[in-house]
Structure 1
Amino acid sequence: MSDDVTAAADAVRHGEVVVYPTETVYGMGADATNPDAVERVFDTKGRDRDKPLSAGFPSVDAALEYVVTTDLEVAFMRRFLPGPVTVVVERRDALPDVLVAGRDRVGVRVPDHDLACDFFERADTPVTATSANRSGTGSITNPSQLSDDVREAVAVVLDGGTTPGTESTVVDPGRGIIHRRGAMADDIETWLAEHADSEPDA
């Protein structure tokens, strides 16, 4: 498996797309700082360019190098990451417009999954974090479910067995907004309520 992770990391650094497991579903990864690689992810998924992608990192500290955060947002990230949560915060310019459909905020993922984080660490760059299915079809919880189109388009498939299948919760803690309820949504809602008055809305 170590050789597979190295191959996947090398592929990402060369602008290619890979499939990798997380603690939710399988993701589709490419260098999130490389506009051409990000375009390949959109093409492989058949995804509309006006729907932003998230970026995956091996740790909160790694993510903080690519985003602008308030104290409250950092506190939220350190409470819920690594974990099945996508945290929406302001991006830095190193993350290109195409990744986020021209928006000023980006979803940050730090999976609670050793294989995914090892892959991110070896890639040594932010990696796109979006489900490995074709748009409009169900999420992938096992590599056997990958469509032929996706399997042919990606350079490496990291097989981590079957994943749980629960989608991550997407939350903008700075604005107190849960965009999508998924794993840990109730805990997140409680945390946001408890911290609602600790910092003005961004």
Structure 2
Amino acid sequence: MNTEIKNAVATLKAGGLILYPTDTVWGIGCDASNPEAVKKIFQLKNREDSKALICLVADDRMLKKYVKKIPDAAYSIFDIHEEPITIIYDEPQNLAQNLIAEDNTIAIRIPDDEFCFQLLRRFNGAIVSTSANISGNITPKSYKEIAPDILKGVDYVVNLHHEKKNTKPSSIIKLSNNGIVKVIRK
């Protein structure tokens, strides 16, 4: 696992794209602060850049670097939620501008996954995590379902092809600074 993390971090720092197992599905990732790398993901997925992407961070300490004000409710959700959950926050900062949604929000998840945690710690920054599929196509449930175009389109494929225990995308909720909570995806 150490070699995989080292290679993935080197690719991310060089502005490249990685294909990696997350706490949910196989993801395409890049340095979330690098607008050119983010642009490559939109191109690879054939996705409009008006559709926001999710980022992963290692922990709430790292989250504070990317969100101006974390609502108190977020900490409660971290404590009680057992399934992977992505939270949409207001007022993102220190991220590539083309990653931020038109309403000035960002979707971020703290994955409960040892590989992702180690990768994020070693990289020491947020990493984009978007499903490993062309936009509009079905999200692959396993490594073997990933389309050849995606495999060829990334700069590094993390060699951990074991089957994931979870094969569905995370739940998504929006926590606005004004206290409004909205479920986006269950």
Identify the residue that residue 3 of structure 2 maps to in structure 1: 3
Of residues 157, 170, 173, the one that matches 1:171 is 173
Question: Would the aligned equivalents of 1:73 and 1:89 in 2 still touch at CA under 8 Å?
Answer: no
Identify the residue that residue 151 of structure 1 maps to in structure 2: 151
Letter of the aligned partner of 2:66 in structure 1?
A: Y
SS at match of 1:171: strand
Root-mean-square deviation (Å)? 1.9
1:25-65 per-residue CA deviation (whole Å, 9 max, x = no partner) reads 11111011110010011111111111001111111211111
- Provide the C-alpha distance between the structure 2 equivalents of 1:80 and 1:31, rounded to a whole number of angstroms: 29
Letter of the aligned partner of 2:184 in structure 1?
A: H
Identify the residue that residue 15 of structure 1 maps to in structure 2: 15
Identical columns (%): 24
- Provide the C-alpha distance between the structure 1 equivalents of 2:58 and 2:83, rounded to a whole number of angstroms: 11
Question: Would the aligned equivalents of 1:54 and 1:100 in 2 still touch at CA under 8 Å?
Answer: no
Identify the residue that residue 163 of structure 2 maps to in structure 1: 162
- Are residues 93 and 82 of structure 1, via their aligned partners in 2, closer, same or farther at CA, if it must alter by over 3 Å? farther
Question: Would the aligned equivalents of 1:115 and 1:160 in 2 still touch at CA under 8 Å?
Answer: no
Question: Would the aligned equivalents of 1:51 and 1:100 in 2 still touch at CA under 8 Å?
Answer: no
Question: Would the aligned equivalents of 2:29 and 2:130 in 1 still touch at CA under 8 Å?
Answer: yes
**Stretches of 4+ moved more than 3 A in 1?**
80-83
SS at match of 1:108: strand
Letter of the aligned partner of 1:167 in structure 2?
A: P
Identify the residue that residue 134 of structure 1 maps to in structure 2: 134
Residue 2 of structure 1 and its aligned partner are, at CA, apart by 1.3
- Provide the C-alpha distance between the structure 1 equivalents of 2:111 and 2:70, rounded to a whole number of angstroms: 22
Residue 17 of structure 1 and its aligned partner are, at CA, apart by 0.4
Question: Would the aligned equivalents of 1:17 and 1:41 in 2 still touch at CA under 8 Å?
Answer: yes
Q: Aligned residues, how many?
A: 181
Higher relative contact order (CA 8 A, sep 6+): 2
1:64-99 per-residue CA deviation (whole Å, 9 max, x = no partner) reads 111022442442353257851001112333113210
For structure 2, which runs of at least 5 residues remain unmatched after alignment?
A: none
After TM superposition, the structure 1 = structure 2 runs for residues 55-66 of structure 1, keeping only pairs within 5 Å, are 55-66=55-66
Residue 103 of structure 1 and its aligned partner are, at CA, apart by 3.1
SS at match of 2:107: strand
- Are residues 77 and 134 of structure 1, via their aligned partners in 2, closer, same or farther at CA, if it must alter by over 3 Å? same
- Are residues 27 and 59 of structure 1, via their aligned partners in 2, closer, same or farther at CA, if it must alter by over 3 Å? same
